[in-house]
DNA sequence: TTTCAGTTTCGTCAAGTCCC
DNA sequence: GGGACTTGACGAAACTGAAA
């Protein structure tokens, strides 16, 4: 038993047939809503990827800074 | 060039949430 | 409550790259 069958009792029908009673404008709205949802999701993922890149750069910079400071204090201690 | 497995894209359904 | 909207999940079709 697939998850789809659990959720959709009319799943023996090909997809699209079960909802054939829907009016065309309603179907159109669904299509557009799905497209918009996917567009937003892509945008969100891209945003997260950008953030990862920024944070990785920050991390590199901070590591470099820490290394430099350690050097300074090591020389002072000598 | 053909075949085929893996990936991406699309339309649809169902469930959840929000707002009136 | 009920209609409109959002989103995860599914199957089908289209696309892609590697192997034969």
Query: What pLDDT, on a 0 to 100 scale, did the predictor assign at position A22?
Result: 62
Radius of gyration for the alpha carbons in chain A, expressed in angstroms and rounded: 27
**A2 vs A43, higher pLDDT:** A43
Closest protein residue to C9 using CA and C1' atoms? A4
- d(CA A10, CA A22) in angstroms, rounded, equals 15
What are the tens digits of pLDDT across the range A13-69? 333 333 444 667 788 999 999 999 999 999 999 999 899 999 999 999 999 999 999
Confirm if A46 and A40 have CB atoms less than 8 A apart: no
**What are the two backbone dihedrals, phi and then psi, of residue A49, each rounded to the nearest 5 degrees?**
-65, -40
Query: What pLDDT, on a 0 to 100 scale, did the predictor assign at position A75?
Result: 86
Q: What positions of strand C are covered by protein, i.e. any atom < 7 Å from a CB?
A: 5-12
CA of A44: nucleotide with nearest C1': C7
């Amino acid at each position: 038993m697939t998850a789809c069958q659990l959720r959709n009792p009319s799943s023996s029908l090909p997809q699209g047939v079960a909802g054939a009673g829907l009016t065309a404008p309603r179907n159109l709205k669904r299509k557009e809503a799905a497209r918009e949802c996917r567009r937003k999701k892509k945008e969100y993922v891209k945003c997260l990827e950008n953030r990862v890149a920024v944070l990785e750069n920050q991390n590199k910079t901070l590591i470099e800074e820490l290394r430099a400071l350690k050097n300074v204090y090591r020389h002072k201690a000598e």
